[in-house]
Chains A and B, each alone.
Chain A
Amino acid sequence: MNILSTLLPFASCCVSFVFAFLVFRRYLARRGPHLLLWGIGMTMYGIGGFCEAYYGAFGWNPLVFRLWYLFGAMLVAAWLGQGTVYLLAKRKWADILMIVLGLASVYGAFRVFGAQLDPAMMGSSLHTGSELSGRAITSGGVRSLTPFFNLYGTITLVGGAAYSVWIFWRKRILLHRVIGNILIAVGALLPAFGGAFSRFGISGALYITELLGAILIFAGFIRATTPMGATSATAPGAATPTGAPKQ
């Protein structure tokens, strides 16, 4: 068992599930589809972390690999980003994009769970702890779906957070949401860079960036939903929890 590749993703898993619990609790108290989607997204983040920890400890088995690929590699960013879409876009457009994402996710799940896996890569002794990839999927047209989900997730989650920062900063209001959204944007970007570093052979980069990403997104959410009192002016029209007011 590789300690680094087991404990780091397990820590990411724990942070993500605690965060998801808090977001779901907030959703039950306040409602709002963005909270529900962020809760679902962080649950996916946690499932991905758990599967990586399992991989670090025992190697892949087909079920854990498919769960990791579906939730940890394919869907997590897009579902978190969809929460931001509900904050920033008109409800009608958010609903349309939600339907598209929902159908695409069902299709993705169908393809991932129906895909052929390379049995040679499912052995319990085959894990380096340094590289996670979908190469074990031998069926065509499955891995090519993933960049589309991640592109959508990056644009909506990181772009949405950056857009909120810009709106608040321009008006010099709600400093806590500016700081919170910066943390969320950086936290969401880190795993993307970690994945790239991992491809370039930097061992363990993905695990570290995933953990830091979960912590920063968590901290950003807490910061964005906790006013700073005297240090930030308040605006009567800015009623959304973490995003910019709808234009």
Chain B
Amino acid sequence: MTDNDQRHATERKYPELYEKLVPVALGVILVAIVVVLIIAAAIALGLFSGK
């Protein structure tokens, strides 16, 4: 991100609801990705019977 983008980002705001919800949703998605990858690894290792 350029300095210009950084400055504009601090000036711009989403509506308050989204300012709170978006980082929470992003965090949940990242955790979910990790969980899915762990499950995939477990299937690959034969811990579950996979598709």
Residues of A within 8 A of B (CB): 69, 73-74, 132-135, 143-144, 146-147, 150-151, 154-155, 158-159, 161-162, 165-166, 169-173, 175, 178-179, 182, 185-186, 189, 192-193, 195-196, 199, 231-233
Q: Count A/B pairs, Cβ under 8 Å.
A: 91
Q: How many residues of B contact A (CB 8 A)?
A: 28
With A133-B49, A134-B51, A147-B40 known, 10 other A-B pairs at CB within 8 A are: A147-B44, A155-B37, A162-B26, A162-B29, A162-B33, A165-B25, A169-B22, A171-B9, A182-B26, A189-B33
Q: Is the CB of B37 within 8 A of A231?
A: no
Determine the residue in chain A with the shortest Cβ distance to B33.
Answer: A158
Q: CA of A144 to CA of B45 in the docked complex: distance in angstroms?
A: 10
Q: Is the CB of B1 within 8 A of A178?
A: no
Q: Is the CB of B23 within 8 A of A169?
A: yes
Q: Given the known inter-chain contacts A143-B50, A146-B51, A171-B9, please indicate yes or no for A182 contacting B22, CB distance below 8 A.
A: yes
